[in-house]
């Protein structure tokens, strides 16, 4: 880990994101980019109707600017090597940010349709999936061009397994699932940003363990961006990240995990996201099988806890604690298992 560059990157991203709130939130209000709340959601969420959305642009700007600054600092100090491994690590880090930006663009289009039509449905599911699949294909292609055509997955304490061509199918589906799972986690003030902050902090350490300082800058910037966004997003939220922000973060989460070659550890560290999306799949399946019955009060699962009387702050604290535990397990497995 390049500590000076990592610290500067994190501090810069936090500052940019937090300060942009003074500009972005009034601008989003003027543009009438307000969130439309679904009628089927918790009744008390109706008070959030009209809250500025697409606030993810705040930390997206922060991540891009601070990451570029961090890379420049490492370059100036001679910490970036342009040999085979060094250039590959840099290319992967840049590819991670680009993939996140592309997912963020899909979210932006989705948000734009919602605010223009004053509804909570944007892109059609198939339109969204096609765009996401193309981004995933481009991401893997960029890795191959950079010289990383490995299809091996490391399993701590067990060894490695080469999946061959199936690696791209498995991990492609994994990215698709996790990006949309991160999106589903954004349903309570501060939840997605707090959980992702924990994930990114964990991956700063994991990037250090695997010797990928450049990717560590991506994780540090994204984590600090989430923290800066929480200044405005904790309950009661003054702005929502929208699909613009949550899909960008989904891109960061998956690109950092796969880019560092810690795919199995990534799955462990994504426990909360996986739980959120899995609750939706289980609910839908149970609903169809039982012809109208529900297993949970409401999904994604954080809404089920809301329906049981949990305050938003409690949900954020408990889910973040669960994420912290999962990430601690992931870090320990990476440290002792390889």
pLDDT of residue 334: 96
Instruction: Tokens for 34, please give them.
Output: 């307000």
Averaged pLDDT of the chain? 92
pLDDT of residue 41: 54
pLDDT of residue 87: 84
Instruction: Tokens for 268, please give them.
Output: 């462990």
Q: What are phi and psi of 235, to 5 degrees?
A: -60, 130
287 class by beta-carbon count within 10 Å (0-12 exposed, 13-18 middle, 19+ buried): middle
Nearest to 77 by CA among 27, 132, 19, 5: 5
Helices (H), the chain: 3-30, 56-76, 84-117, 125-145, 166-185, 191-209, 213-233, 242-259, 263-269, 271-289, 301-307, 312-337
pLDDT of residue 51: 85
**CA 149 to CA 236: how far, in whole Å?**
46
pLDDT of residue 36: 62
pLDDT of residue 44: 52
pLDDT tens-digit map of 153-208: 999 999 999 999 999 999 999 999 999 999 999 989 999 999 999 999 999 999 99
pLDDT of residue 292: 86
pLDDT of residue 317: 97
Q: How confident is the model at residue 135 (pLDDT cuts 50, 70, 90)?
A: very high
pLDDT of residue 42: 59
Residue range 122-138: mean pLDDT, rounded: 94
Partners of residue 34 on adjacent β-strands: 52
C-beta of residue 219 within 8 angstroms of C-beta of residue 207: yes
The CA-CA-CA angle for residues 19, 24, 29, to 5°, reads 140
pLDDT of residue 12: 97
3-state secondary structure of 120: coil
The CA-CA-CA angle for residues 179, 71, 233, to 5°, reads 45
Poorest-pLDDT segment among 132-146, 221-235, 291-305: 291-305
pLDDT of residue 37: 58
Give, rounded to a whole angstrom, the gap between the first and last alpha carbons of the chain: 18
Poorest-pLDDT segment among 114-123, 172-181, 213-222, 324-333: 114-123
Poorest-pLDDT segment among 20-34, 122-136, 197-211: 20-34
pLDDT of residue 336: 93
pLDDT of residue 238: 92
**Residue 26 to residues 32, 53, 233, Cα–Cα distance (Å):** 10, 11, 14
| Measured torsion, CA atoms of residues 190, 196, 198, 201, in degrees rounded to the nearest 10 | -130
**CA 115 to CA 132: how far, in whole Å?**
21
**CA 238 to CA 196: how far, in whole Å?**
19
pLDDT tens-digit map of 219-273: 999 999 999 999 999 888 899 999 999 999 999 999 999 999 999 999 999 999 9
**CA 332 to CA 338: how far, in whole Å?**
10
Q: How confident is the model at residue 79 (pLDDT cuts 50, 70, 90)?
A: confident
The CA-CA-CA angle for residues 48, 49, 53, to 5°, reads 85
pLDDT of residue 43: 54
Q: How confident is the model at residue 47 (pLDDT cuts 50, 70, 90)?
A: low
pLDDT of residue 46: 53
**CA 194 to CA 235: how far, in whole Å?**
12
Residue range 276-284: mean pLDDT, rounded: 96
Q: Does residue 300 have a cis peptide bond before it, meaning omega lies within 30 degrees of 0?
A: yes
């Amino acid at each position: 880990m390049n500590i000076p560059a990592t610290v500067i990157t994190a501090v810069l991203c936090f500052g940019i994101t937090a300060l942009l709130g003074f500009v972005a939130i009034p601008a989003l209000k003027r543009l009438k980019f307000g969130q439309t709340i679904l009628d089927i959601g918790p009744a008390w969420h109706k008070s959030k109707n009209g809250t500025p959305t697409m606030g993810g642009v705040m930390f997206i700007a922060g991540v891009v600017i601070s990451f570029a600054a961090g890379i420049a600092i490492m370059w100036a100090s001679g910490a970036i090597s342009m040999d085979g491994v060094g250039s590959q690590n840099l290319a992967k880090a840049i590819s991670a940010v680009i993939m996140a930006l592309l997912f963020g663009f899909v979210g932006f289009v989705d948000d734009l349709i919602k605010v223009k039509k004053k509804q909570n449905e944007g892109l059609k599911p198939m339109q969204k999936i096609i765009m996401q699949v193309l981004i995933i294909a481009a991401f893997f292609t960029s890795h191959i061009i950079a010289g990383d055509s490995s299809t091996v997955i490391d399993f701590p304490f067990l060894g490695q397994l080469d999946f061959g061509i199936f690696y791209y199918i498995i991990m492609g589906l994994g990215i698709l699932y996790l990006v949309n799972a991160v999106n589903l986690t954004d349903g309570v003030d501060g939840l997605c940003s707090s959980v992702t902050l924990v994930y990114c902090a964990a991956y700063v350490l994991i990037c250090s363990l695997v010797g990928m300082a450049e990717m560590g800058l991506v994780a540090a910037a994204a984590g600090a961006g989430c923290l800066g966004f929480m200044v405005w997003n904790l309950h009661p939220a003054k702005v929502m990240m929208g699909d613009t922000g949550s899909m960008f973060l989904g891109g960061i989460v998956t690109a950092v995990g796969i880019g560092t070659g810690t795919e199995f550890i990534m799955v462990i560290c994504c426990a909360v996201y996986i739980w959120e999306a899995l609750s939706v799949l289980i609910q839908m399946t149970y609903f169809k099988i039982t012809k109208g019955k529900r297993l949970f009060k409401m999904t994604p699962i954080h809404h089920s806890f809301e329906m049981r009387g949990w305050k938003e702050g409690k949900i954020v604290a408990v889910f973040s604690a669960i994420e912290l535990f999962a990430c601690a397990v992931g870090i320990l497995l990476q440290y002792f298992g390889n």
